[in-house]
Each structure stands twice: as C-alpha cells, then as structure tokens.
Chains A and B, each alone.
Chain A
Amino acid sequence: MSAPSTDRLRPRDEAEAAAIVRWAVSESRTLDVAGTGTKQGLGRHIQTDATLDLSALSGVTLYEPAELVLSARAGTPVAEIEALLAASNQMMAFEPMDFGPLLGRPRGGGTLGGLMATNLAGPRRPSAGAARDHALGLRAVSGRGEAFKAGGRVVKNVTGYDLPRGLAGSYGTLAAFTELTIKVLPRPETLETLLIYGLDDATAAKAMSAAVGSYYDVSGAAHVPFVLAGRIPALALAGTSVTALRLEGVPPSIRHRREKLEGLLGGFGALGHLEAEASSTLWAALRDVEPFGEDLSRAVWRVSTAPMQAAAIGAAVEAAGGTCFYDWAGGLIWIEMPDADPRPGLVRDAVTVAGGHATLIRAAVAARAALEVFQPLDAVTGALVKRMKDGFDPSRVLSPGRMYAGV
C-alpha cells in the first residue's frame, strides 16, 4: 500500500499501535511518533512516510491520590491530568512547561506521552526534578513492533534497568509510549515571590546561589535582565532587572522564610515582593518562556549549565546581539537570537567552555534539518546510542533522525 507523507495512522489501542509498527518494518516505512503534534517543531526536522498518531490512546487508567501515583494512556491530554490532580490538591511537581507560546501554538495542547518523550520540566526542576524523576513505569511499543512494559507503579523500585527514566527524553526514537505511570505530589497551599531589583547577571547568580543554598526552601530562582523584564507583565513596571525567588508551602512557613531571606539577601539590592496570584502568573510566564513568544522567527536555544557558569554564556550571547534570561538559579538559560540565524558556533563554543548542553528549540525548518539540534555526542557515546537504536529499533522505523542523524 502507498503511504503518502501526510498519512496519519491513529491506533485505538496498544495492539493496533504494535501492528502499525510491524507493518512499517515489513514495508520499510518510517513513522513520526506523535501525540497531538504540539511539539512537532522540536528536534531535528525529519520527513517520514506516515505519522503514528497516539492521541486516541487516551484516558487516565489509575489515580490513587493517597498512593501519589497516576497512570494514563500516552495520548491523554496534559490539561486533563492537571485538572484531575488539582481537584485532589495534587500536581506533577516537575511543573511541565507548555511549548505553546514559544512555538506559536495554542496553550494546553500536549499529551502525557509527549511530555515524557521530551522530558519536560519547569522552574521547580532543581528541587523537584524533571519528568524523568517522576517516571515510575511505562508500556510502549518498540521499533520491533513489540509491546513491552518496564518499571512499576510504586515510588521505590529498582527491579531491572530503569527504562522509564532512560526512555524519558528519547523523542519517540526508541519506542512509542502507550501508557505511563508517574509519581504525583501534593500541591503547595500557597506561594509568594521575593524580588531583588537591579542586579547584573553575575551578581544575580550569586544572590540565587545564596538563596537556594539557604535553609529556606526556595522552589524557584530566576533572573530576568532589564531588556526582557518589560516583556513580562508581572515585572514590566520594575524598570530594571529582576531576580525572583519563589517560596511555596503553608503560610506560616512562607512568612518565616521570607523574613529570613530578606535578611540574607537585603545587601544585594532593593527588595520587592509578589503575592500568590501575581506569583503564579510570573512563574507560568517564566516556565513557558513567554518573553520569547513575540517574534517567532527568532532562533531560540535552551542551555543547561552549572549555575555559576551561566553569566559567562549570557555575556557571549549578548555580545552577539541576543538576549537571555535565567531559571534554575542560573542552571537553565533561555536564549533568543536577534534574528532567525541560530549562530550555533557561538552557542556551542560558549557551552563547551562552561560545561553543559545546548538544544536548539526554535529555528526554521532548514536550520533544524541541517544543524545538530541536540548537544553533539562524542564518538564513543554516539556509537553507544546507535547500538541502543539497533536494539530497540533496528529497522529505523520510529522517528529516525529526530535526535541524531542515523538514529
């Protein structure tokens, strides 16, 4: 049968998903593993013969709040899961970001499978982990057309290799998830944000290090330079750079911690403060990289590095006319170039010096087809990754090339 590139195959259950993969293997067809397609702009640009659309595998299959566990089919909308959890005062503590604003798509469109396949995280990453840290179990179909499971439904489990973690962030290149089990956690009762005004990037890094290295449980530490503060409504009136520190928990604890932090950080600069509602808006804006949602033609990078190295990378970017802001106390840098040119040499060189990894998040199709989108691998690791692909998807059926050429 002929399968034009627009073909979307939409299995209704795992057995159908496995049958489609077996068909693709026997017919030498390639499949783009997708949910609702909200993250199609991420990764290397690839062309496949058809799309394996898992969005019909939908629905929460297990939710036990007292056990802190939730299972859902891979195509379940993240929004549905978040609403269900919120009704029991729980959450996905890794605070998955929504790529909608950054990629010019509507908000709230992603699926649980997509969330795990891209290992999403938010501002709470340093203290609470990323999606990978909350992965407990999975069911999936490998590129061999076989359905398999790994992990379990309990928080503490070392039975066998940790495939649920290892497959988090694999962009569908090793297996197509059909069902996932994650750890969920109680939602903090309330939150506040302590602000420090007017710090340069390097000083902000020191202030954030002091804050997250203190006793006072800071669950978000971000720094927005002056040029970008104006693009975030909650910070627009500051008229200078803003360093934001989030405190979450029960009210008496937050009050106590804020007072202590004010004492600890007062020497860095003028202090301000946001109540719960403004705080929620601010941290959602930072999580979803809203400052870079205005001009979608500009190239955007995401860099993970040691927090104290971040300012040096930022300086290199700014020297080239780019802008950036910092999350994870500096450990995460969001970079926007002044135009569509991603300037990979500049970013890669800066990250090579500082240590860490850089991912090209937003760029024109041609750039994403031609450039390394993920951090380039050394020869030995690259060969290892190829051998993993050989094991899980020897016929190169599942989103081949999405992460690395030939994988």
Chain B
Amino acid sequence: MSHEAISAAPSAALSQGAVPGAGEPGEVPHALVMPEPKREVLARRGEIVADLRAIVPGEGVIDTEIEMRPYESDGLTAYRQLPLAVVLPSTTAQVSKVLAYCHAHGIRVVPRGAGTSLSGGALPLEDAILLGMGKFNRILDIDFDNRTVTAQPGVTNLGITNAVVHEGFYYAPDPSSQIACTIGGNVAENSGGVHCLKYGLTTNNVMGVEMVLITGEVIRLGGQHLDSGGLDLLGLIVGSEGLLGVVTEVTVRILKKPETARAVLVGFPSSEAAGECVASIIAAGIIPGGMEMMDKLAIEAAEAFVKVGYPLDVEALLIVELDGPEAEVNHLIGRVSEIASGLGCMTLRASTSEEERMAFWAGRKAAFPAVGRISPDYYCMDGTIPRKALPRVLSGMTEMSEKYGLACANVFHAGDGNLHPLILYDANKPGELERAEAFGRDILLLCVEVGGVLTGEHGVGVEKRDLMPSMFNEVDLAHQQRLKCAFDPESLLNPGKMFPQLHRCAELGRMHISGGQLPFPDIPRF
C-alpha cells in the first residue's frame, strides 16, 4: 500500500508529498502521486551516467538539463519532470546491457517512443533513466508474399505503410498521430484509430516482437506466423504501457489497400438520430471502414478551419466510409443512404471522387487543431461507451459543461463507441485547468457508470491511473499486478503508471486460504 511522493498541481512541475485517497469521484483538483524517488540513486547520478556511457557511447547518454528538456513530458503536457538521464541506445545488445545494469542497481526505467502519449505513459521520473527508442528507426524486412513487415520500434506508424504502399499494401491501425507516433509506442499502448471496428487495434495486427526483459534477457514472441504455440504472452505485451519489457523489434501484418473507398456525409437534427443511424447500419450487417460522429461545436470549429462544406444547420454529422471492392462499396453506399434517409437526416452527400472523400475527412481529421483555434487550450478525453448510452452520456456532458463553466466539443468513433470529448479551457486563467481535469474525470466516471471503460485507445498512463478503482476492485487489480510481478518483480519498469497503488510482489504472492472444508457440501458431484 505504500503510496508515496509526488503531488502535482497539474499545470506545474511534479513535486513530492504524500496525498491520500486518490480516485474518489468529485475530488478536485486531481493530485498525482508518483513513487518516491530513490535517494541512493539520485546520489549516485554521476557514477550512473558514466556507467551508462560505457554501454552506450558517444551522444547516446544525455545528462544536461537543456538537452533533457525535450524529454520532460509527452503528449500530456500538463505533467513535466526531468529524468535522471536520457539514454538513447541503438542496438538490442545495448538495450539489454542498459536494462541489466539498471536491474542490478535498482534503477528505474521509463521507456519512450516518439513521446506522443496522451496519457502520460512516457512521463519521466526524477530517479529513472528515460530510455528513448528513437534510434531504432529501420525497417528490417518486407515480405509481400507472407504479408508482413518487420520493423524496429522507432519506425513511425505511417513509415510502415510508406514502405509498402508502392505494392498497394498498408498497415491498418491509424492513430491520428500516425505521422509521428512509433510502432513500438503503438505496441505499448495498443493504439487504435478510425478503422478499428473493421480492421482491429494494434493487438490484432501485431504478429511478433523481440523484447528485452528488465533482467536484460531477450525473448522473441510470435513471428511471421499466427497465434501463439502456447500461452499468449504477445497478447499481454500489447497494451502493457511499457511496464513489462522494452520491445526492440516488431512484426506486423500488412493488408492490401481496399480497391476503393467512398464516404457518405450525413447531417442529423440530433445526436440521438445520428446514433440511431449508426446502430441501424450495424444492425443491417454493414461494418463500415470508418464511422465518425461530430457534434455541433466540433462541426463549426472544423468548418471554420478547413472550409470543406460541412452543413452548419445540423446538430450532428456522421461520416460513414465504406471500403473494399468497388461493386461492394457502391452497393453499400446505396444501402447506407437509404438507412440515413429513412431516419430523417437533414443532409446527405455521397462522395463521387477521391477528392470529395478526402474533403469529407479533412474536417474530421482537423477537428483537434480546429478546436485549438477557438480555444487557448483543450483537454482531449478518451472513454468508450456502449453506443446505446450515447444520449445519456451526451446529456450528462451538457450538464457537466454548465457545472464547470467550460465548453466541450465532441468527436466520436461512432462505430466502436470511443468518445473523444475536447474540453475547452484557458490554462492562463487560474483554476481552469483544474476544472477541465475535474470535468474530464467526471466524463470518464460516467462512461464507466453506463457500462463503458476509462480509455479506448490513449492508455491509462498517469492520467487515468487513479480512476482504475472505478472499473476494477482490489482483487481485479491485484491479478493484473501479478502479471507485472512475473515480468518485473522489483517494479523498475515505468512505475507509477497504470496502477494507483504499488503493491509489493511479495505481498501479492501471499495466499490467504483458511479452513480445510469444502464450504458448499451440497455442490452437485458426479
């Protein structure tokens, strides 16, 4: 239960100090408790840096404040912390030696890809080395016959597609940060994107990894073949947020790009009607390649920014993209149009050219920066709900918006129920960030209340860590942490992320069984 250290006014640097009882709904402001830095590690910093330089020579170890600044935060910029040192290895052997060294000396390690995490997954710790994987930037193998690509973890998501697009192939998961985010980071976060419903998340598209355990031992899981020959360790690694090991090589499956793609842009007088349209499309047996919803504020912001002709008199806008063989897409465009018309849509346009389809998407893809234009700051949330709960969640958000005095724009991966409310605030106005965080927290708790989850694709990180008890009880969390104990019993890898409390593995290992009687003597027996 030892819960120590940092509390943070979210806008400020992290500071230390015990904070009790995180996770209670309605508590403001959000206090972030991080593991207490190990004084003996801080005291030996010079020696540690010298030792690391012996493993990763040249510019691979950074220890000056000015050079470490770029690493002090990831995409969740409200939290900042300089690491003990930044280490940038370029070979698996170096990663292995660095981790073995850290393991031997009890030094914590925070792995990092491109640092685009929106949940603080790569937030440094004062006493931890930041292990940057950016130098692992080569594609190692492209195998069109077996339809796989093997890449180093620092290759960007889009870099994989770019390497195979000349043969008409692509890598399906497409998080909106795909230009910058790395495939290693995608593995850590089980990244999604707008095409998940049809093509799956990262976990459904990764076939193998090479990874280094905290001991420095190197293992290979999977490869160019499907499924595991035994326990599915690969399935556990994907989405483990850098807590179980450091991935040094990734094999993914690639798909042939759909022959054609067309989109329908449909405006509705209410979010309920748009939601009903989504449900009806799926009930008709159609799984679109992408299905996105935007609310009025998001539509207005996007249209003002990119001017693609979105209707401004509607309350909700749906983009439904059908992809696949041409004959199928044309057939399904007709069926989707019929469904939408039958549900009283106000506007309906089907793309007739690639330019038009791209224009439909341009507004949605620019929604975040578009909102950034109408507000000094925004805070992007990421809950998933059963789609039928959308009206209740939207009206709940309207009430919260009034309560906190902050506007909220909504973009929504409608097909899979993944909400991205964007809370508008001004960090320069005292108290607004705290209100935005409390607002966001209330939204996530509402998502859980209606049967959904805290995070659909951004990860738990530090951001949602303290909300975990709203979804999982102590026994649930203890079972998750026992997995951590199997990989990293001293909790050296990315501690302070994902779990609200750091239990000692010895404590988790104890069994509490008493009595020797079968308590249900009447259980049917044969």
Q: Which residues of A contact B (CB under 8 A)?
A: 1, 7-12, 16, 19-20, 22-23, 25-27, 53, 56, 64-69, 89, 119, 121, 125-126, 129-130, 132-133, 142, 144-150, 152-163, 165-170, 173-174, 185-187, 189, 206, 209, 212-217, 249-250, 252-253, 255-257, 260, 304-309, 328, 331-332, 355-359, 374-375, 377-378, 380-381, 384-385, 387-388, 390-392, 394-395, 403-404
A19-B519, A154-B453, A257-B328 are known; give 20 further A-B pairs, CB within 8 A. A20-B523, A23-B519, A25-B511, A26-B515, A129-B204, A154-B416, A156-B416, A156-B457, A158-B189, A158-B458, A213-B169, A253-B325, A256-B327, A306-B143, A306-B223, A306-B225, A356-B225, A357-B228, A358-B229, A391-B508
Q: Which 5 A-B residue pairings sit nearest by Cβ, starting from the closest?
A: A357-B229, A375-B229, A391-B482, A253-B328, A186-B285
CA distance A361 to B455 in the complex (A): 39
Q: Which of B223, B388, B487 is within 8 Å of A384, CB to CB?
A: B487
B245 CB to nearest chain A CB (Å): 10
Is B132 part of the contact surface with A, judged by Cβ < 8 Å? no
What sequence of 0s and 1s flags, for each residue 189-228 of chain B, a beta carbon within 8 Å of any chain A beta carbon? Answer: 1101000110011011000000001000111010111111
Name the CB-closest residue of B to A65. B283
A67 touches B453 (CB 8 A): no
B230 touches A209 (CB 8 A): no
Residues of B within 8 A of A162 (CB): 190, 203, 235-236, 238-240
Known A155-B416, A374-B230: A64·B386 in contact at CB below 8 Å:
yes
Name the CB-closest residue of A to B485. A391
A119 touches B232 (CB 8 A): yes
CA distance A385 to B258 in the complex (A): 40
Is B144 part of the contact surface with A, judged by Cβ < 8 Å? yes
Q: Which of B218, B327, B486 is within 8 Å of A387, CB to CB?
A: B486
Known A154-B385, A154-B416, A250-B331: A165·B523 in contact at CB below 8 Å:
no
Known A9-B523, A148-B479, A392-B482: A166·B146 in contact at CB below 8 Å:
no
Name the CB-closest residue of B to A133. B204
B524 CB to nearest chain A CB (Å): 4
CA distance A391 to B511 in the complex (A): 10
What sequence of 0s and 1s flags, for each residue 315-340 of chain B, a beta carbon within 8 Å of any chain A beta carbon? Answer: 00000000011111001100000000
A257 touches B213 (CB 8 A): no
User: In chain B between 339 and 368, which residues have their CB closer than 8 angstroms to a CB of chain A?
Assistant: none
A331 touches B226 (CB 8 A): yes
A398 CB to nearest chain B CB (Å): 13
Q: Which of B144, B417, B471, B509 is within 8 Å of A391, CB to CB?
A: B509
A159 touches B455 (CB 8 A): yes
CA distance A212 to B226 in the complex (A): 15
Name the CB-closest residue of A to B238. A162
User: In chain B between 445 and 480, which residues have their CB closer than 8 angstroms to a CB of chain A?
Assistant: 451-460, 464, 468, 471-472, 475-480
Residues of A within 8 A of B477 (CB): 160
Known A158-B455, A161-B240, A162-B238: A250·B328 in contact at CB below 8 Å:
yes
B219 touches A381 (CB 8 A): yes
B475 touches A148 (CB 8 A): yes
A158 touches B227 (CB 8 A): no
A161 touches B483 (CB 8 A): yes
Residues of A within 8 A of B238 (CB): 162, 165
Residues of B within 8 A of A20 (CB): 518, 520, 523
Name the CB-closest residue of B to A15. B520
Residues of A within 8 A of B484 (CB): 161
- 5 intermolecular pairs with C-beta atoms under 8 Å apart: A19-B519, A145-B513, A162-B203, A306-B146, A356-B225
CA distance A150 to B471 in the complex (A): 9
CA distance A9 to B525 in the complex (A): 5
A69 CB to nearest chain B CB (Å): 8
A49 CB to nearest chain B CB (Å): 12
Residues of A within 8 A of B332 (CB): 250
Residues of A within 8 A of B331 (CB): 250, 252-253
A350 CB to nearest chain B CB (Å): 13
Residues of A within 8 A of B200 (CB): 129, 133
Residues of B within 8 A of A332 (CB): 226
The listed residue with most B CB atoms (<10 A of its CB), out of A125, A255, A388, is: A388
Residues of A within 8 A of B232 (CB): 119, 132, 165-170
Known A67-B387, A157-B384: A186·B523 in contact at CB below 8 Å:
no
B14 CB to nearest chain A CB (Å): 23
B143 CB to nearest chain A CB (Å): 8
A168 touches B513 (CB 8 A): no
CA distance A64 to B192 in the complex (A): 23
Name the CB-closest residue of A to B191. A158
Is B2 part of the contact surface with A, judged by Cβ < 8 Å? no
B256 touches A214 (CB 8 A): yes
B525 touches A67 (CB 8 A): no
Residues of A within 8 A of B226 (CB): 121, 125-126, 130, 304, 328, 331-332
Is B231 part of the contact surface with A, judged by Cβ < 8 Å? yes
A381 CB to nearest chain B CB (Å): 5
Name the CB-closest residue of B to A385. B231
Q: Which of A23, A121, A126, A380 is within 8 Å of B217, CB to CB?
A: A380
Residues of A within 8 A of B385 (CB): 154
A158 touches B520 (CB 8 A): no
A304 touches B479 (CB 8 A): no
B167 CB to nearest chain A CB (Å): 9
A156 touches B417 (CB 8 A): yes
CA distance A58 to B475 in the complex (A): 24
A40 CB to nearest chain B CB (Å): 15
B498 touches A66 (CB 8 A): no
Residues of A within 8 A of B453 (CB): 152, 154, 157, 159
Residues of A within 8 A of B455 (CB): 157-159
Is B279 part of the contact surface with A, judged by Cβ < 8 Å? yes
Is B1 part of the contact surface with A, judged by Cβ < 8 Å? no
B476 touches A149 (CB 8 A): yes
B230 touches A186 (CB 8 A): no
Residues of A within 8 A of B192 (CB): 156, 158
A355 touches B223 (CB 8 A): yes
Known A10-B523, A152-B471: A160·B227 in contact at CB below 8 Å:
no
A158 touches B239 (CB 8 A): yes
Residues of B within 8 A of A160 (CB): 460, 468, 471-472, 477, 480, 498
A159 touches B230 (CB 8 A): no
The listed residue with most B CB atoms (<10 A of its CB), out of A10, A215, A375, A403, is: A215
What sequence of 0s and 1s flags, for each residue 175-198 of chain B, a beta carbon within 8 Å of any chain A beta carbon? Answer: 000000000000001101000110
Known A119-B227, A126-B226, A304-B225: A390·B190 in contact at CB below 8 Å:
no
CA distance A12 to B282 in the complex (A): 35
Q: Which of B218, B233, B518 is within 8 Å of A1, CB to CB?
A: B518
B197 touches A155 (CB 8 A): yes
Residues of B within 8 A of A255 (CB): 327
Residues of A within 8 A of B487 (CB): 384, 387
A8 touches B384 (CB 8 A): no
What sequence of 0s and 1s flags, for each residue 491-520 of chain B, a beta carbon within 8 Å of any chain A beta carbon? Answer: 000000010000000001101011111111
Name the CB-closest residue of A to B479. A148
User: In chain B between 377 and 401, which residues have their CB closer than 8 angstroms to a CB of chain A?
Assistant: 384-388
Residues of A within 8 A of B217 (CB): 380
What sequence of 0s and 1s flags, for each residue 239-282 of chain B, a beta carbon within 8 Å of any chain A beta carbon? Answer: 11000000000000000111100000000000000000001101
Is B53 part of the contact surface with A, judged by Cβ < 8 Å? no
B488 CB to nearest chain A CB (Å): 10
B355 CB to nearest chain A CB (Å): 21
B328 touches A391 (CB 8 A): no
Name the CB-closest residue of B to A387. B486
B277 CB to nearest chain A CB (Å): 11
B460 touches A390 (CB 8 A): no
Q: Which of B283, B458, B476, B523 is within 8 Å of A66, CB to CB?
A: B283
CA distance A12 to B325 in the complex (A): 49
Known A8-B526, A256-B327: A155·B518 in contact at CB below 8 Å:
no
The listed residue with most B CB atoms (<10 A of its CB), out of A160, A215, A359, is: A160
A25 CB to nearest chain B CB (Å): 5
The listed residue with most A CB atoms (<10 A of its CB), out of B192, B326, B478, B518, is: B518
